[in-house]
Amino acid sequence: ASSGSTINLYAAYYDVQAEGEGTIHSPRSCLPGTGWQIKSLEQRTVPEVNFNGKPLLANRAIITKGKERILAYYWLQGRDRIITNEFLAKWWIFWDRLTQGRSDGALVRVMTELGEFDDPVAQEQELLAFIQQISGDLSAHIPD
């Protein structure tokens, strides 16, 4: 990032999601379990990024732990879908296993720390530009 901020990419792909075999853990569930607090959570369209001809819709979260503050965008990707709702994701896993014999998918999370003296608007623009840069590569590695 040009401001010197670090951008962290985490992408976890599961070829099978089932009880006992592992499933995607949503940041909405696992972050509070490690001491982070979700201060805001909303859905946002990522500018200039399309998935199957539609704009990329992602979850945008501000999370805090002590004095640390992080901006994160995340979504679930796979089987021709982008999903931002964890409960809907479970429904689609069930449906796709039944109708397609598939339950694969990925969690994609991109985040940056918001420093006390940093410009949060500029940092968010850098984060969105990074997502724009990697979106094609991600789709090449996560099966439709």
Q: In this predicted model, what pLDDT tens digit does every residue of 22-39 receive, in sequence order?
A: 677 778 878 888 899 999
What is the largest distance, in Å, between two alpha-carbon atoms of the chain?
Answer: 51
Per the model's pLDDT, the better-predicted residue between 9 and 33 turns out to be 9
Q: Return phi, psi of residue 114, to 5°.
A: -100, 105
Under the banding of pLDDT at 50, 70 and 90, the label for residue 20 is low
**Are the C-beta atoms of 114 and 70 separated by less than 8 Å?**
yes
**Are the C-beta atoms of 143 and 102 separated by less than 8 Å?**
no
**Are the C-beta atoms of 33 and 90 separated by less than 8 Å?**
no
Please name the amino acid found at residue 14. Y
What are the structure tokens assigned to 15, written together? Answer: 């070829």
**Distance in angstroms (rounded) separating the CA atoms of residues 78 and 17:** 12
**Distance in angstroms (rounded) separating the CA atoms of residues 125 and 144:** 28
Instruction: Kindly tell me if the per-residue pLDDT of 2 is higher than 90.
Output: no
Residue pLDDT, tens place only, 53-76: 889 999 999 999 999 999 999 999
Under the banding of pLDDT at 50, 70 and 90, the label for residue 1 is very low
3-class secondary-structure state, position 144: coil
Per the model's pLDDT, the better-predicted residue between 77 and 30 turns out to be 77
Please name the amino acid found at residue 5. S
Look at residue 3 in the predicted model and tell me its pLDDT: 61
Q: Which helix (H) or strand (E) covers residue 129, if one does?
A: helix 120-141
Whole-model pTM?
Answer: 0.88
Q: How many residues does the chain have?
A: 144
Residue with tokens 């999601």: 17
Instruction: Kindly tell me if the per-residue pLDDT of 133 is higher than 90.
Output: yes
